Amino acid sequence: MTLAIETPRKSRVDTLLGDIGIGQVLLAVALLLYPAIASDFFLTQIGGYSLIWGMIALSLMMLAGYGGMVSLAQITVAGLAGYMVAIFGENNSNVHGFGWPWWVVVPIAVFVAGIASALIGAISARTDGIYTIMITLAIATAMYYFTQQNYALFNGFPGFTGIRAPDFLGIYWRDPMPFYYLCLGVAVVAYAAVLYCARSTFGLALQALRDNPRRMRALGFHVTQHKIVTYFYAGLIAGLAGVLLVWFNGRISPGTIGVGAAINVLIIAVIGGMRHPIGPFLGALVVVLMQTFAIDIVGAERFNTLIGLFFLAIVFISPDGLLGLWGKLKPHLRQESLRSGP
């Protein structure tokens, strides 16, 4: 860490703008105006869907990028929140479906997701690095088989169908426009929270114990507990995304939290880049676009080969994903503009 240098005080607006960054303001404006030009399909299937997957990948980015804990069980956490919505809210599978109002169900679902994530963290936090991948993958797979076999709680293979997003303030929130803004709002909150967390003492300590856990332990930090709390926060984000995902799909089944999905989250985060919270959203957009339009290029069946090869290429060329690629290109572009003088 370098020492922050006292800058001369500017006006409040200027510093605020400087803090946020002009790029992010432009991005926010573009995202807000997006519905004006996009069709319903682009609004939900691309916009909303990317934001949801971006949030799940964001929770992984928070763990992996700042904490060095690559967890493959984030989709399990998100799925659990979705299951909670189905169980405590309404569904038409005639199993459970307590029919509680959304403002009770959503906090419960998100909180359960946080607790589940913390438990997964407690199991895996004592090990590190690649061990975490193995253990969380084992947990995710076990959970997938469990939801498939268990009919008492998770309604087994069929899962739950007919889950509706709430009507609130006279708006049905699954309609394209409200749903897009809902996703955008939640995603921005999650994004800002992660950015804030990264700059807070908590986040700085987290990054420090990623780099040198022994020294942090010697300094008196409780490394395992710190990691578990991070898992809890990441679980809240994944839980929020899980709630949105189940409203988007209208149903949830073991397939939603399968191994393929767990690995998808990792692919999104890696393709986008895990250095900055914007990476997962970028990755999600790329993957969702590929998913939607790959059918025209390689046919629906071979999509996985395409995405797998793309993923391999990214891992080989740029370990920091598309963000890293941009970071490498930027200096070149700048020099290019200098050279192309008169």
Partner 1 sequence: MSVLDQQTAGAGITKRQGWGIAALLFAAVMAWLIFAIWPDWLNDILISKKAFVSSIFNGITLAGLYFLVASGFTLVFGLMRNVNLAHGSLYLVGAYIGYEVTRLTGYWLLGVAAGFLVLALIGVVLQVTVFRRLEGDDLRQTLVTIGISIVAADLMLWMWTGATYQITTPEWLDGAVKLPIITAFRSNGDAVYINYPFYRLVVLGVAIVIGIGLWLLLNKTRVGMMIRAGVDDRAMLAASGVNVHAVFAIVFAIGAGLAGFAGVVGGSALSVAPGEDVRYLLASLVVVIVGGMGSITGAAIGALLIGLAEQIGLVYFPTYGIVLTFVIMVVTLAIRPQGIMGKSL
> Residue 9: which H helix or E strand, with range?
none
Calpha distance 200→206 (Å, rounded): 10
Calpha distance 342→340 (Å, rounded): 7
3-class SS of residue 11? coil
Q: How far is the CB of 252 from partner 1 (least distance, A)?
A: 19
Residues 6+ away with beta carbon under 8 Å from 294 = 300, 303, 306, 307
- Out of 15, 29, 99, 145, point to the residue binding partner 1 (CB under 8 A): 145
Q: How far is the CB of 318 from partner 1 (least distance, A)?
A: 11
- Out of 134, 192, 289, 317, point to the residue binding partner 1 (CB under 8 A): 134
- Out of 171, 177, 195, 259, point to the residue binding partner 1 (CB under 8 A): 259
Calpha distance 217→259 (Å, rounded): 34
* Stretch of residues binding partner 1 (CB under 8 A), selected from 14-22, 106-114, 243-251, 295-303: 295-303
Q: Which is nearer to partner 1, 135 or 246 (CB)?
A: 135
Residue 133 in the binding site for partner 1 (CB under 8 A):
yes
Q: Which is nearer to partner 1, 135 or 165 (CB)?
A: 135
Please say whether the beta carbons of 191 and 278 come within 8 A: yes
Please say whether the beta carbons of 162 and 96 come within 8 A: no
- Take residue 330 and report the two structure tokens written for it: 């930027």
* Stretch of residues binding partner 1 (CB under 8 A), selected from 44-52, 100-108, 210-218, 311-319: 311-319
* Stretch of residues binding partner 1 (CB under 8 A), selected from 14-22, 150-158, 190-198, 233-241: 150-158
Q: How far is the CB of 302 from partner 1 (least distance, A)?
A: 7
Q: What is the DSSP string of 16-80?
A: HHHHH-HHHHHHHHHHHHHHHH--HHIIIIIIIHHHHHHHHHHHHHIIIIIH----S-HHHHHHH
The 3-state secondary structure of 121-132 reads: HHHHCCCCCHHH
* Stretch of residues binding partner 1 (CB under 8 A), selected from 3-11, 147-155, 186-194, 226-234: 147-155
Q: How far is the CB of 138 from partner 1 (least distance, A)?
A: 5
Phi-psi region of 97 (alpha: psi -120 to 50; beta: other; left: phi over 0): left
Calpha distance 38→30 (Å, rounded): 12
Residue 304 in the binding site for partner 1 (CB under 8 A):
yes
Q: Which is nearer to partner 1, 17 or 263 (CB)?
A: 263
* Stretch of residues binding partner 1 (CB under 8 A), selected from 31-39, 85-93, 266-274, 325-333: 266-274
Question: Binding residues for partner 1, per CB under 8 A?
Answer: 70, 123-124, 126-131, 133-135, 137-139, 141-142, 145-146, 149-152, 259, 263, 266-267, 270, 301-305, 307-309, 311-312, 315-316, 319
